[in-house]
Amino acid sequence: MTQPMGTILAMVLLLGVLGFAVARPWNLPEAVLAVPAAGVVVALGVVEPGRAFSEISTLLPVVAFLAAVLVLSHLCHAEGLFAAAGALMARGAGGSPQRLLVLLFGVASVVTAVLSLDATVVLLTPVVLATATRAGMRPKPYVYATTHLANSASVLMPISNLTNLLALTASGLSFARFTALMALPWVGIVAVEYLVFRRFFASELSLGGDRPLPRGSDPQRVSAVTTAFVCATLAGFVLAALLGVPPAWAAAAGALIVGVRALARRQTTAASLLAAANLPFCLFVLALGVLVLGVTDSGLGAQLARIVPTGTSLPALLGIATLAAVVANLLNNLPAVLLLTPLALAAGGPVACLAVLIGVNVGPNLTYVGSLATLLWRRVLREHDTGVSVGEFSRLGAWSVPAALVVGTSLLWISALMLGE
């Protein structure tokens, strides 16, 4: 097959797979179309079998890590961590919408960073919606905050987002080095989001709650043993990185220990644990890697390489982050990070890869299609009979995304200078 034809075929299949993932007809898994599409590009020679095998081998540890973290998030939910967080936020807010927003930003940012953005979208969003409704507050600022923070607050650690794991693999950074470089940008981005939310939702936040939480409703207790195991798992990520062991082993060990305990206490079932691992989505990620390889190998990669800024100066990093945000909103953030991190690494090294990450994590707050997490968030709200406006979502993003990109990337540049990267 000629290169132009290969480029067209790979792009059409990639867009078709992404469209299918967005629409999810009949609630079918994303892998239903992605896996056959990946097989087509290999069978027709757009991607050589050896290249496809190499890409899958590279992504397998990343996908295994993702599955283990998803199981760990499910186990924390079964333990009552999210219900307890909702009760504590309600009591701490004391009927004040502003205080509830502050508490939510703290909880959602930490949950996203530690248990991944999927935990915030799927598990925390319904809790926040119920908490605000019970207190008689307007729920809109809080449910919008969960999706914004699921995306933008996920820049901190490799475990926070699948895009982070992909960027970590491409950059060659250690777990600890990655987190150290992204700590300052994470704080800055969350602060920008908070200031924008206070301004954008000023009218909703000025109305106090009219249903204070009854004094007798104590927050659910979370087992100290489970909390200790989760903290030990997080420490294990850093230790594994220092020892040169793939972090997926630490995640798997933590999920196994907490999972066995939860099964013994009948807090969950084996079927629930398997469903939490979301194996069809893992297959989707592997297939997506092959499809993106088809796009880059057939010519698009060379075209993008010409416009990726070179170096690690502040203007170069801002240009890379902006390009990544644009591509994420056009193609979705998973293909964007797969496409751009190798090019950024060649143009500016590991720090440039992290600039891509800021773009693909913050940028999707501008449109629904920028992130699969945002699409999942919409689905969760629909299941709870709560609608959101496309126009309002984009207007909010128009305020927050440019500011968060500039602040986050500028702080990344400062972190790189401070840490000698």
206-246 pLDDT, tens digit each = 876 555 554 444 455 666 766 677 677 767 766 766 676 77
Going from N- to C-terminal start, the domains of the chain cover 1-46+279-299
Helices (H), 24-80: 31-43, 49-79
Instruction: Return d(Cα 403, Cα 321) in angstroms, integer.
Output: 12
% helix / strand / coil in the chain, to the nearest 5? Answer: 80, 0, 20
The pLDDT-based confidence of 272 (bands split at 50, 70, 90) is confident
pLDDT value for 82: 78
Rounded to whole angstroms, how far apart are CA atoms 360 and 161?
11
3-class state of residue 311 by DSSP: coil
Residue with tokens 């807010």: 93
Could you read off the pLDDT of 350-387 as tens digits, one per residue?
Answer: 999 999 999 999 999 998 778 878 877 887 787 777 77
Taking only the tens place, the pLDDT of each residue in 273-296 is 888 888 888 898 899 889 888 887
pLDDT of 214:
46
Whether the Cβ atoms of residue 25 and residue 318 lie closer than 8 Å to each other: no
User: Dmax over Cα atoms in the chain, in whole Å?
Assistant: 71
State the pLDDT at residue 231. 72
Tokens 């709650």 correspond to 209
pLDDT at 39 over 70: yes
Q: How far is CA 321 from the centre of its chain?
A: 16
Compute the CA torsion angle 70, 72, 77, 80 (nearest 10 deg): -170
Report the alpha-carbon distance of residue 342 to residue 59 in Å, rounded: 14
Q: CB 58: neighbour CB atoms within 10 A?
A: 13
Higher per-residue confidence, 54 vs 94? 54
**pLDDT for residue 221:** 61
pLDDT grade for 104, boundaries at 50, 70 and 90 = very high
Residue whose token pair is 């961590």? 81
Q: For residues 250, 256, 258 and 260, what is the CA-based torsion angle, rounded to 10 degrees?
A: -160
The confidence score (pLDDT) of residue 216 equals: 40
User: Both tokens of residue 67?
Assistant: 């599955």
> Does residue 325 carry a pLDDT above 90?
yes
What is the distance of C-alpha 148 from the center of its chain? 10
Question: Is residue 16 pLDDT above 80, yes or no?
Answer: yes
pLDDT recorded at residue 254: 79
Which amino acid belongs to residue 312? T
Tell me the whole-structure pTM to 2 decimals: 0.82
Does residue 119 come out as left (phi exceeding 0), alpha (psi in the -120 to 50 range) or beta?
Answer: alpha
CA distances from 355 to 31, 215, 372, 409, 413 (A): 29, 47, 20, 6, 9
What's residue 217's pLDDT?
A: 45
Of 420, 185, 195, the C-alpha closest to 321 is: 185
| pLDDT mean over 286-310 | 83
Tokens of 198: 């206070």
pLDDT band of 192, cuts 50, 70, 90? very high
The answer on pLDDT for 1 being more than 60 is: no
* Identity at 421, one-letter amino acid code: E
User: Per-residue pLDDT averaged across 170-197, rounded?
Assistant: 94
